[in-house]
A and B are shown apart, each in its own frame.
Chain A
């Protein structure tokens, strides 16, 4: 029996039967699959945090000294602090202390005794908002443009979309950021007197995210547009599309239902994996637009030698990456009934 994870309860057979043995089996298989995928993620999480920990360990300078600045410290206090933070232990022991904390949901504390989670939470929210807004823009614009181009394949509009994606891929975030900040944020305000796109900080609520999110999403929008175009064009050539036409289905239904569901499958994979990339790559955008996100925080922590914060941020991002990929895999199976959770 094959897995049919997304069976809508409404469309089941006779209502008398609540759950057939086959469906119960599928539910168990799904649960087992999720658990196995989570277990598989553990080595990746361990490996990635270990790597980051090692890099941070190798950072030059003494964290305690940098914490207290130029002041001369009582050697006894230094010794106590060093012991408290296991700084005298070998690297691998320090890492062990850290990672066992992470698995209990504790990202550690800074050398000034502030919990890392407290420091990161607000910053993470900003980056998450930025990443999700960018992802939304990417999905809407990318899929929209890709559809537009695929349905006009070979015509002038298609070529224009392709040329636009080429430009969008080629212009680095660094450049789009400043150019759009200048054109839309500053020039537009000077021209109209209305501030449509705030260009700095997060004081304007969701509007603050519009321009930075577009800048951050730029390259991804272009890639997704191309992927959508290829995927839909390929799907439209499939035999089952010819069948749908032969069945007398209106064009709207052929494209919007028969082709769409199939064409979406690779797009979902791309989008899901992209959230992590967007959030991890946000540091330049955050710097240009002065957004107090985790990229900025990481940058500062590296220079202030706040190792626990640095490791915490990267650990969180690795977690986002792993979770996003898990969700993608599950969605994949929902969209494509041929996939089994084996």
Chain B
């Protein structure tokens, strides 16, 4: 780090900035990369990065990827999510029973303890809990992924507009988001679902997204406003870059990181919310399979036969855990200051 005060014709020795810091300059230098990134997630396009080929705009993502691969938290989350995705895509790999086939359940076998035939036991209808749990993954993931996608798109886009334009659009959008924020989300979703009468993956997604977009909106808006004040954005503006170019080339890539972190964590939260709504009877409806629905079905005989409730509960928890761990790891990699 060259210090103009030392090499230049000035009275002062050193910068005087770090003079009373606990760590000496030598210790600060290797960390400067982190400190700068913490201030401006994304970094300036011109900043060269270790590991990125020369000449290409350095990306925060390649840095983050290097960080991530070395973190056990991320590796664990990624493996877990990989298995969950596989389970959702090809449940047949994990069980030979097709729970959507009514013939697979025998009432006479109801509430059996886990055994070689039924690893997770059977439920009140005599259906195989393992098969139902595995097949339930798809609906949970569909709700989680689609709700996240919609909130990121809607909230993110509106936040980008509000933060970038300011003025009246910002004031209006902010007020509207406040209104949605004030409505309790579980009760609100419950009401919206009651309007549809029958719950499906898509109505649950809609109910959750309607109430959840303001969170993404706020984060995106705040990030854009922060990015707008950054020196390189001011510089780009001064150089005559167009509004759209500034928005998409300079502001968006920086603002999007914080949205992604929150979106990853929210994915887990939406999956849990789906289970909650389905448990209450307003979410996904039978004969579709959902972990929340399974928990609700098992509830009346819970004290006699806990396994039809505990296994979907465990899968639900693990799935949420995986996404929250992923969110934690991504946040740590993108914003080391919060570690």
Contacts and interface: CB of A to CB of B under 8 A. Distances in A.
Please determine if A and B sit in direct contact within the complex, based on CB atoms under 8 angstroms apart. yes
Interface of A: 43-45, 47-48, 51-52, 55-56, 58-60, 166-167, 169-175, 178-179, 182, 186, 230, 242, 276-277, 279-281, 283-284, 287, 295, 298-299, 302-303, 310, 313-314, 317-318, 321-322
B191 A56 contact: yes
Contacts of A173: 272, 276
B185 A299 contact: no
Given A52-B191, A178-B299, 4 more contacts: A60-B195, A170-B321, A174-B272, A178-B310
Contacts of B338: 230
A280 B295 contact: no
A321 B188 CA distance: 14
Interface centre among B22, B179, B276 (most CB of A within 10 A): B179
Given A47-B176, A174-B272, A179 B310 contact: yes
A59 B195 contact: yes
Interface stretch (B48-56, B61-69, B312-320): B312-320
A130 to B, nearest CB: 14
A178 B324 contact: no
Interface stretch (B106-114, B156-164, B301-309): B301-309
Contact of B292 (A47, A174, A310): A174
Contacts of B279: 174, 284, 287
Determine chain B's interface SS by DSSP, over half rule. helix
Interface in B163-220: 175-176, 178-180, 182-188, 190-192, 194-195, 197
Given A174-B275, A182-B302, A302-B194, A44 B184 contact: no
B195 A322 contact: no
A44 B324 contact: no
A331 B182 CA distance: 20
B209 to A, nearest CB: 15
Nearest to A199: B303
B280 A284 contact: yes
A55 B179 contact: no
A279 B184 contact: yes
21 contacts: A48-B179, A55-B192, A58-B195, A59-B191, A59-B194, A172-B316, A173-B276, A174-B275, A174-B292, A174-B295, A175-B314, A178-B310, A182-B303, A280-B184, A280-B185, A283-B186, A298-B191, A302-B194, A314-B191, A321-B184, A322-B182
A43 B309 CA distance: 44
Q: Which of B182, B302, B321 has the most CB of A within 10 A?
A: B182
Interface in B317-334: 317-318, 320-321, 324-325, 328
Contacts of B310: 178-179
A67 B192 CA distance: 21
Given A172-B316, A283-B187, A47 B295 contact: no
Contacts of A317: 183-184, 187
Contacts of B276: 172-174, 284
By Cβ-Cβ distance, the 8 closest A-B pairs, closest first, are A280-B184, A47-B179, A170-B321, A172-B272, A175-B313, A171-B317, A170-B320, A302-B194
A207 to B, nearest CB: 20
Contacts of B192: 55
B182 A287 contact: no
Contacts of B187: 280, 283, 295, 298, 313-314, 317
A44 B299 CA distance: 38
Given A175-B313, A175-B316, A182-B302, A277 B184 contact: yes
Interface residues of B, number: 44
A44 B268 contact: no
Nearest to B318: A170
Interface of B: 22, 175-176, 178-180, 182-188, 190-192, 194-195, 197, 268, 272, 275-276, 279-280, 292, 295, 299, 302-303, 306, 309-310, 313-314, 316-318, 320-321, 324-325, 328, 338
B324 A170 contact: yes
B12 to A, nearest CB: 21
Given A284-B276, A302-B190, A44 B179 contact: yes
A189 to B, nearest CB: 11
B182 A284 contact: no
A307 to B, nearest CB: 11
B139 to A, nearest CB: 15
Nearest to A325: B182
A43 B190 CA distance: 24
A178 B182 contact: no
Contacts of B191: 52, 55-56, 59, 298, 302, 310, 314
A169 B324 contact: yes
A60 B195 CA distance: 6
Contacts of A230: 338
B182 to A, nearest CB: 5
B331 to A, nearest CB: 11
B183 A166 contact: no
A302 to B, nearest CB: 5
A76 to B, nearest CB: 30
